[in-house]
Structure 1
Amino acid sequence: MSAKFEIFHGKNDEFYFRLKASNGQIILASEGYTTKANCQNGIKSVKAHAGDAKHFEKKVTSNSKFCFNLKSSNGQVIGTSQTYTTEQSRDAGITSVSHNAPDAAVVDLTAHTA
């Protein structure tokens, strides 16, 4: 299995995407979008920005865990990572997004719904 973006409907009826690594682990997730087209544009933005380290914001949570955001050129967050226990694992997550996102296929899990 290779890396892929999945578009899906949330319980709040908004559209979301998640980037899964080849092992099936979610390495980046979006906020909700009101339309599928906006969600697809979010994926395009991830693909465009993931290859440049300056777009990754490394963060430490209040309980001393590690995560990151991927930001667009205008500073808007377009994807957020899971929480990691070490800086090294967070940095490996960034590397994974950088390598996987640009060529990842997009799977629309909402295609069978109205």
Structure 2
Amino acid sequence: MISKRSNGEFQFVLKAGNGEPILSSEGYKAKPSCINGIESVRTNSQNDARYERKTSSSERPYFVLKAANGEIVGTSELYSSNGALEKGVASVRLNAPTAAVDDPTA
């Protein structure tokens, strides 16, 4: 889903089949850049090397998905365990390639 932030930037959120958000983008100044970010997630989601597993300052696991150039294209939520994080990665892999793009900003 594409949304517009209060500062005018565009952002996308990838949702799982149950409607829960599993990956959020940075803010993009232009909508075409946001759409390119969505395509980058579709492409890079299938490559495990593009996922970087991290730990937050509150010691909770999360991951970022990177493009081939090393730029972060999406960040996950904070998880309660590494097992939950891996389920999140699996959900991105499953949902990203065929996710419909809901664009209420159009």
Please tell me the TM-score bracket, short chain as reference.
Answer: over 0.9
TM-score (normalizing by structure 2) = 0.98
TM-score (normalizing by structure 1) = 0.91
Aligned to 1:30: 25
Runs of 5+ consecutive residues of structure 1 not aligned to the other structure: 1-5
Which deviations, in whole Å up to 9, do the C-alpha atoms of 1:72-108 show, x marking residues without a partner? 0010000000000100001100000011101111111
Aligned to 1:83: 78
Separation (CA, whole Å) in 1 of partners of 2:85 and 2:55: 10
Aligned to 1:55: 50
Which deviations, in whole Å up to 9, do the C-alpha atoms of 1:31-69 show, x marking residues without a partner? 000000000000000000001100000001121101000
Separation (CA, whole Å) in 2 of partners of 1:109 and 1:96: 24
Runs of 5+ consecutive residues of structure 2 not aligned to the other structure: none
Q: What is the total number of aligned residue pairs between the two structures?
A: 106
Question: Is 2:104 aligned against 1:109?
Answer: yes
Separation (CA, whole Å) in 1 of partners of 2:48 and 2:40: 14
CA RMSD of superposed structures (Å): 0.6
**In structure 1, what residue type is equivalent to 2:38?**
I
4+ aligned runs moved over 6 Å, structure 1 = none
